[in-house]
Amino acid sequence: MPCARGLDTPPDMSKHRHETNANPVDRGAAVGLVVNPMSGRDVRRLVGRAQSETPESKRNQLQRAVIGAAAAGAGRFCWVRDLFRVTERAIEYVRVGAEFDCLDTGPLKTSPDDTVRAVHAMRDAGCKVLLVLGGDGTNRIVAGAWPDAVLLPVSTGTNNVFPEHVEPTLAGAAAGLVASGRVPLDEVAPRVKLVRVRYEDGEERLGVIDAVLVHDDHPGSLLPFNASKIRRVVLSRAEPTSVGMSPIGGLLEPCGREDDFGVVVRCVGPGEGGRPLLVPISPGIYRTAHIQGCERIKLDEPVTFEGPGLVEFDGDRERVLAEGETAELRVVRDGPRVIDVARTLQYAAQHGLYVDRPHWHDEGDMIDGMPGCC
């Protein structure tokens, strides 16, 4: 069902196809475009030293990704409207023979529910791959909404361990190669680890990278974390080359995406006997955590958080634990499949998937200063 158009929306934007091109695309190879218009724009960017992501930069990244996917064989793209019209403007002048379907998800709420409804609509529309522009928090919402999704996350958020820092053209190419079936899913997209949490009342939550118990904090705050108030960290990935919570473990016990274990870190307050660890807690900000212990945990091995404290997932402060209240956490490999861009393009090279291809038609390509490739 096409979404309702605003008064200033071009009449053909809810579903348009450009038949002037003859690119060999597969209409069944559908890629969903999931864009968080708010990622990389919160107060953490203002009080820290990170570069803010503008709607214009996201439009440019998304356009490059769409062209990469179409060149790889994807013939259909599903999208939903967003507050800043990022997707709509990104695809408005793309002329590569693909079909773009706007899915109706109802009124925008400017909340995580917008992403949940978008993901459900793309699942129901038959999307084979979701190209996600956002940070760890965005991907956590996507993973919770569609646990069996095939994702290609592109980094545009504040905490960016889960999504890849990759040229969007190549990210799109990998998504298109998998969506079109030219590269086998099992060869390049393993299931990822998650941190799963179960509270005493039966509520279940997840983190794609971390779950953290923090003292003297409150839900909804977007300020950088005070590292001296961190008490326990459970990590699916402990990356020394990242910022945020992940390097608290990564600088002590590195753990990557393919390692079949997680990491738990026990912290104390200043002056309580912990070993000081200088950590890049946010882009451009180092703070000191006090480490009491750090060790590997097996997959599915239980870890307990006990209140009082606040439980944080992937940078988002969510739920308060009362005095004596507990939650059980486990690192498990039951998350969505995530496409490895390098592995996908290596497969394409080894099997000659870009060799002897028909002429590529892109009306937006400028040749000799003139629009149109032919």
pLDDT for 20 equals 38
Residue 191 pairs in a beta bridge with: 337
Q: What is the DSSP letter of 323?
A: T
pLDDT of residue 324: 96
Q: Could you identify the residue written with the tokens 């069944």?
A: 28
Sheet containing strand 303-306, edge to edge, reads 204-207, 194-199, 326-332, 303-306
- Per-residue pLDDT for 46 more than 70? no
- In the chain, count H helices and then E strands: 9, 20
Question: What confidence tens digit (pLDDT) does each residue in 240-292 have?
Answer: 999 999 999 999 999 999 999 999 999 999 999 999 999 999 888 899 999 99
The one-character DSSP state at 229 is: G
- Averaged over 302-307, what is the pLDDT? 98
Return the percentage of the chain with pLDDT > 70, whole number: 86
Q: Which helix (H) or strand (E) holds 99?
A: strand 99-102
Tell if the pTM clears 0.85, that is, is over it.
Answer: yes
Q: Which domains does the chain have, with CATH numbers?
A: 15-191+335-371 (3.40.50.10330), 194-332 (2.60.200.30)
Question: What is the reported pLDDT for 372?
Answer: 57
pLDDT, tens digit, 9 for 90 and up, residues 333-364 = 999 999 999 999 999 999 999 999 988 888 88
Which pLDDT score is estimated for 45?
56
pLDDT of residue 18: 44
Please state the length of the chain: 374
Whole-number pLDDT of residue 21: 42
How confident is the model at residue 293, as a pLDDT? 98
Residue in 140, 144, 183 with CA at minimum distance from that of residue 153: 140
- Model confidence pLDDT, tens digit, residues 157-203: 666 899 988 999 999 999 999 999 999 999 999 999 999 999 999 99
The mean pLDDT of the chain is 89
Q: What is the DSSP letter of 77?
A: E
